[in-house]
Chains A and B, each alone.
Chain A
Amino acid sequence: MLKFKVFKVILLSFILVFSGNYMFSQHSEEHQVEKHSKKFNPGEMIMAHVGDEYGWHITTINEKHITIPLPVIVYSEYSGFHIFMSSKFNHGHSSYKNFKIASGKKNPLNGKIVEIINGKEIKPYDISITKNTLSLFISIFIILWIFLSVAKAYTKRKGKAPKGIQSFLEPLILFVRDDIAKESLGEKKYMKYTPYLLTIFFFIFLNNLLGLVPIFPGGANLTGNIAITMVLALFTFIITTINANKSYWKHIIWAPGVPWWLKAPPLPIMPLVEILGIFIKPFVLMVRLFANITAGHIVALGFFSLIFLFGEMGGAPAGYGGAVFSVAFTIFLTMLELLVAFIQAYVFTLLSALYFAMATEESH
């Protein structure tokens, strides 16, 4: 029954997450309200950094924002397609046509583009190239560039020892192939799933690393974005479900070795739990990656915020003194995050492989 309870909790949180109740943002808002708007607000800064935005904010010098403007693409049911640069919003201070970036702490659409129709804020279909989208494009460009050139090296230098970036990536490729795919799926089936596993491994690993780079091409919190992890988990879910064999479904609906009264109506607990499990597995994948990476970013940024908080409270000397400790801690944390970047990519890939293995296991 304990298991059942756990599942209930997970299901509840599932509902909460998707019902638009922003537990996280509400929590931080309460802190923000107390503070003076002019003062440094770590919560706001951190949330802005781990979240998404319509332009890529680089830095602010003397109250002047330096931002790379990004294209906004929206489709409105009222006025059709619109494509324009995010600089038209002037950092959210002005509106363009009828569009503006919604603001207000209690506004559920806070930070999103809305269209003003008859004085009401209505959310259009929004496929803007946001900071995370651009970061996604940059990262896939890097991935394609790296692996296509590595593939070229493999075909050019056939049968020879690896060289250059090839020799750096080969152990990782072999690691995914031998220690993840072959180990979980077995000699017969692993080749079918290895391309997907390699792709998600390197996609997650590279984006985790890019997230740790503080300046322009990096710095976006891509793998710590729930939409990205959701799509990745969905792919794993879809591949698992498509390739599942009879014995997998049989184990879900009528698990052998379980007393009949646990799986027959009126109280088919086991099938219910198993069916929930189908969805919980990818859901957990999604949340684990998102939470680990986001938490890492939040903690690292928190330490940086300490510098400015000390500075505000005790003047410049306290700020500099605090900086020594903060930087030391941030270095330590970044080292830890490097490890986490690898571990999370590994865990996501390994669990995907295990789910595929479970779905395709032959009945014994």
Chain B
Amino acid sequence: MGLVTPDFGLIFWMTITFLAVLFILKKYAWKPILKSLKEREDSIDNALQSAEKAKDEMARLKSDNEKILQEARVEREKLLSDAREVKEKIIEDAKTSAKIEADKMISSAKAQIESEKLTALNEIKEKVVSLSVEIAEKVINKSLSSDKAQVDYASSLLKDIEMN
């Protein structure tokens, strides 16, 4: 058989078998193989993509958390400073009101003292008058007729006392 002469029988069998193989492989081998390769590649792709997404999501959450924490910290700071202010104000108010009250009390006390003093003075005056009268009575009883000048003197004395 010539090496370079295509042999009819072999061409015949090759054409038939190759067509059959091509058909069978295409339908029952390449189709499922290529399909599942594609599917696997797609699923790997998807998995990678979603991993990337999850990573982004994580980063986002983390930065959110950070932000919330920061806000909370600021809020706390604000609350604390507010509280401090309130406290100071309350103390201040308390102090002021206490002082007013105290002043009031002091002034009323003073007024009372004044009035008490006046009363006491008046009492003393009366006592003094009565004492003086008693004294004068006694003196008069002893020397009423003696000297008119003495009576005048006593009255002037009394007058002085009244002036006071």
- Chain A residues engaging chain B, CB cutoff 8 angstroms: 17-18, 20, 22-25, 47, 50-53, 73, 110-112, 125-130, 132-133, 136-137, 140, 143-144, 147-148, 150-151, 154-155, 158-159, 170, 173-174, 177, 191, 194-196, 198-199, 203, 225-228, 230-232, 235, 290, 294
Contacts and interface: CB of A to CB of B under 8 A. Distances in A.
A177 B34 contact: yes
Contacts of B8: 125-127
Contacts of A170: 37
Contacts of A177: 34, 37
Contact of B10 (A20, A22, A133, A155): A133
Interface stretch (B20-28, B81-89, B150-158): B20-28
Interface string B1-13: 1111111111111
Contact of A127 (B12, B17, B18, B20): B12
A199 B26 contact: yes
A24 B2 contact: yes
11 contacts: A22-B5, A24-B2, A133-B9, A140-B18, A150-B33, A151-B30, A154-B36, A158-B36, A195-B34, A228-B10, A231-B15
A17 B29 CA distance: 37
A229 to B, nearest CB: 9
A290 B15 CA distance: 17
B78 interface: no
- Secondary structure of the A contact surface, majority rule: helix
Given A51-B1, A144-B25, A195-B30, A226 B36 contact: no
A278 to B, nearest CB: 20
Interface of B: 1-15, 17-18, 20-22, 24-26, 28-34, 36-37, 39-40, 43
Nearest to A202: B25
Contacts of A228: 10, 14
B1 A111 contact: yes
- Secondary structure of the B contact surface, majority rule: helix
Given A22-B3, A24-B2, A151 B32 contact: yes
Given A130-B10, A148-B28, A231-B14, A155 B4 contact: no
Given A126-B9, A132-B10, A227-B6, A144 B18 contact: no
Contact of A226 (B3, B32, B33): B3
B17 A226 contact: no
B3 A24 contact: yes
A23 B54 CA distance: 71
A147 B18 contact: no
Nearest to B10: A227
A158 B17 contact: no
Contact of B29 (A53, A151, A158): A151
B29 A148 contact: yes
Given A20-B5, A24-B2, 4 more contacts: A140-B21, A148-B24, A195-B31, A199-B21
A6 B17 CA distance: 35
Nearest to A72: B9
Report which residue of A53, A129, A150, A159 has the largest number of chain B beta carbons within 10 angstroms of its beta carbon.
Answer: A159
Contacts of B22: 195-196, 199, 235
Contacts of B28: 148, 151
B16 to A, nearest CB: 10
Given A133-B9, A143-B25, A227 B1 contact: no
A158 B43 CA distance: 11
B31 to A, nearest CB: 7
Contacts of A144: 21, 24-25, 29
Contacts of B3: 22, 24-25, 47, 50-51, 226, 294
Contact of B1 (A52, A129, A147): A52
Contact of B33 (A18, A22, A132, A154): A154
Given A198-B25, A199-B22, A191 B4 contact: no
B30 A226 contact: no
Contacts of A132: 10
